[in-house]
Amino acid sequence: MANGFKTGGRQLGTPNKRQKIGKRIDAFIDNEWDNIPLYMENMSDKEKAEFILKLLPYATPKYSSRIYQTDITEDWGL
């Protein structure tokens, strides 16, 4: 927030579309979990892998890497 006010991105209070889609996919997976092998029965191994990989980003949180830099100047007497 430069200058004390929001300058870009979603407006305050706008719902996150990714969360909404993720909740629907979670519900689909919960309701259809036992049927997924039936859906994947006629898929090739490559298609099965692609199917799972496409669902994962919606069903699991995304993590970002963080870089921490510290300046250690304290003498520990070692």
For residue 14, the model assigns a pLDDT of 75
Is the pLDDT at 9 greater than 90? The verdict is no
Count of domains observed in the chain: 1
Q: Is 19 inside a domain boundary? A: yes
Q: Is 10 inside a domain boundary? A: no
Is the pTM higher than 0.75? no
Q: Is 2 inside a domain boundary? A: no
Angle at 24 between CA 21 and CA 26, to 5 degrees: 110
> How many angstroms separate the CA atoms of 57 and 18, rounded?
10
pLDDT-based confidence at residue 21 (cuts at 50, 70, 90)? confident
The per-residue pLDDT for range 49-65, each reduced to its tens digit, is: 998 888 787 667 777 77
Percent of the chain at pLDDT > 90 equals 13
For residue 6, the model assigns a pLDDT of 64
Q: Is 20 inside a domain boundary? A: yes
Q: Is 28 inside a domain boundary? A: yes
Which domain does 20 fall in, by range? 15-59
| DSSP state string for 25-43 | HHHHHHHHGGGHHHHHTTS
> How many angstroms separate the CA atoms of 13 and 8, rounded?
13
Q: Is 67 inside a domain boundary? A: no
> How many angstroms separate the CA atoms of 37 and 33, rounded?
8
